[in-house]
Amino acid sequence: MGMTAAEKIIAAHAGKETVKPGELVKAKVDLILGNDITAPVAIREFKKIGLNKVFDPERIVLVPDHFTPNKDIASAEQAKIMKEFAREQGITHYYEVGRMGIEHALLPELGLTLPGEIIIGADSHTCTYGALGALATGIGSTDMAAAMALGETWFKVPSTIKFVYQGELNPWVSGKDLILYTIGQIGVDGALYQSMEFTGPVIRALSMDSRLAMCNMAIEAGAKAGIIEPDEITYAYLEGRAQREYRGLFSDGDAIYAQEIEFNVSEIEPQVAFPHLPENTRGISEVGEVPLDQVVIGSCTNGRLEDLRIAAELLKGKKVHPHIRLIVIPGTQKIYQQAMKEGLLDIFIEAEAAVSTPTCGPCLGGHMGVLAKGERALATTNRNFVGRMGHPESEVYLCNPAVAAASAVTGKISAPEEVL
Amino acid sequence: MTILNGKAWKFGDDVDTDVIIPARHLSTSDPDELAKHCMEDADPQFFNKISKGDIMVARKNFGCGSSREHAPLAIKYAGISCVIADSFARIFYRNSINIGLPILESPEAAESISEGDLITVDLEKGLIKNETKGEKYYSAPFPEFMQEIISAGGLINYVKDRLSEKP
């Protein structure tokens, strides 16, 4: 009987020939990630174990990205705990402000997340790395502490739902729209405890940035992981970038899926998720009149170069609507620099947008764009829960970078075509 | 034998971790400080209203969203003895087991229990008794491996035990 790619990856790391959905296994991990919010708790728990050294200082990545550059004294103290631990343990992959990026933009860019690997991170959007054919999943701080000690963790082998995307993409439709549409169809617990395998001709032609955006939001359907089998696009992306040897794993022809769902993408237009759940999606033509106070383009979902290029294409020669604050946040220092070289930052600044150093900041209502009571934001981020970007009576709508850029110009949620 | 007793506080579907503990409070990881803000965006008085041992009851996908362990920590240190729901989001589920917050999946209990009902829970048996309504519900028992983590008193103690077994 065949296995899915996710099952094969888990089996290979558990030292088993085969695994079945539902089975509990202990598996070796290739990489462990933590940030300035989750790592301090993990470090506290790690110290309780009583070990002096982590299992491998080259397999742990620590990125201060959530409340950094430090927003206040309390968050500075948290970041300091992580910095000191990194020095004390000789952690190779610690990325200080100025060298960092939003973790899920940074790690793939550095070639640290590879096909066939198991990557766990104390951040729910760790599932992003499935775009490279890894089995990557979010865990909590105590799980991170235990994994830093043992180099392994336990998994319940997830069953897999196969999503097949057919047809031709409409203009301005990106990976973000495919995943929002998918979540709208199956719900925020539609893949609870399961793995989502994205495949079909549309995925095979999708850029790496769009694939990363898709897998990033698998967690918003409750999934343990989102995965795209590696192909030429993956290998081209990894060329000169991969920091370790790797071996991609693929689903067998006779693999057993919990479900197979096919979508005709020709029917999908740019999507907008209404408050307060990512499943509340509507096509852009169904949105109606939604005036805005703030637009955010960035985050681990859509802060990559492709996203900034699309936003710049729509903002070129235009001004942000007088009622709108537009905040653009490149995902990493490298993306920031490349955007500068390509003149994208000029376009943003000419349009009267604020451009920030990489940070998760506004996405989780941390800093750099927190909403007041009654304010409404449109964001290329991943969550629109109550109070996510600030006051509990503020609102967040989710969309792709094209819709965000167009809406920043019109002052209300708008289709990209409206500003062309 | 672990028996929990308390009054039920009822919530709906998809209670997310940003509601359980908003990110604006994550610049600390002090559990007692986090506890004061538990559920405040759903009910600003929640922490002041509950009594030690009370039980949270919610519907599907409780704890969805972020991986922040601050969420089950806030609930535990607010004095909630147990969470009962139709289903839990997976990271919240792991985190709760790891830090020793008892959680029980029982769609039947989650549907029948009303706010204010007096509830007794026998964790070992997975038995939930509704003293107010005179009803009994059962939750599925934990897999053996998770039971080991729970009996060790959480994942950190479990890891300690494992490391001390190594030669």
Query: pLDDT of A159-180, one tens digit each?
Result: 999 999 999 999 999 999 999 9
Chain B within 8 Å of A143 (Cβ-Cβ)? yes
Contact across the interface for A224 and B90, Cβ inside 8 Å: yes
Rounded Cα distance, A59 and A93, in Å:
8
Considering only CB atoms, A124 lies closest to which of B91, B154, B160, namely B91
Average pLDDT, chain B: 94
Q: Does B164 touch chain A (CB under 8 A)?
A: no
CB-based contact A389:A360 (threshold 8 Å): no
pTM of the model: 0.97
A71 at B interface, C-beta within 8 A = yes
To the nearest whole number, what is the mean pLDDT of chain A?
A: 98
Longest C-alpha distance within chain A, in Å? 61
Q: Per the CB < 8 Å rule, is B27 touching A154?
A: no
What confidence tens digit (pLDDT) does each residue in B119-150 have? 999 988 899 999 999 999 999 877 888 888 88
Q: Over 80: is that where the pLDDT of B1 sits?
A: no
Tell me: the pLDDT tens digits for B14-59? Answer: 999 999 999 999 999 999 999 999 999 999 999 999 999 999 999 9
Q: Residue B138: what pLDDT?
A: 96
pLDDT range class, residue B152, cuts 50, 70, 90? confident
Distance CA B62, CA B54 (A): 17
Q: Where are the alpha helices (DSSP H) in A16-116?
A: 39-49, 73-89, 103-109
Which one-letter DSSP state was computed for residue B142?
A: P
Rounded to the nearest angstrom, the minimum Cα separation between A186 and chain B is: 13
List all residues of chain B from 105 to 134 with a beta carbon under 8 Å from chain A.
Answer: none
Q: What percent of chain A has pLDDT over 70?
A: 100
A222/B61 Cβ within 8 A = yes
Query: What crossing angle do the helices spanning A305-315 and A401-410 adopt, rounded to 10°?
Result: 30
For chain B positions 37-66, those within 8 Å of chain A (CB to CB) are 41-42, 60-61, 64-66
Q: How far is CA B6 from the centre of its chain?
A: 13
Say if residue B115 is exposed, middle or buried (CB neighbours under 10 Å; 0-12, 13-18, 19+).
exposed
Are B145 and A66 an interchain contact pair (Cβ–Cβ within 8 Å)? no
Helix, strand, coil share (%) of chain A residues, nearest 5: 35, 20, 45
Q: Do the Cβ atoms of A115 and A231 come closer than 8 Å? A: no
pLDDT band at A280 (very low <50, low <70, confident <90, very high): very high
Specify the amino acid at residue B74: A
pLDDT tens digits along A313-354: 999 999 999 999 999 999 999 999 999 999 999 999 999 999
Instruction: Tell me the residue ranges of DSSP E strands in A114-173.
Output: 118-121, 135-138, 152-156, 160-166
Question: Which residues sit opposite B84 in a β-bridge?
Answer: B57, B104
Using a CB-CB distance cutoff of 8 angstroms, which residues of chain B are in contact with residue A193?
90
Task: Say whether residue B163 is in contact with chain A using an 8 A CB cutoff.
Answer: yes
CA distance A26 to chain B (A): 10
d(CA A142, CA A38): 9
Radius of gyration of chain A (CA): 20
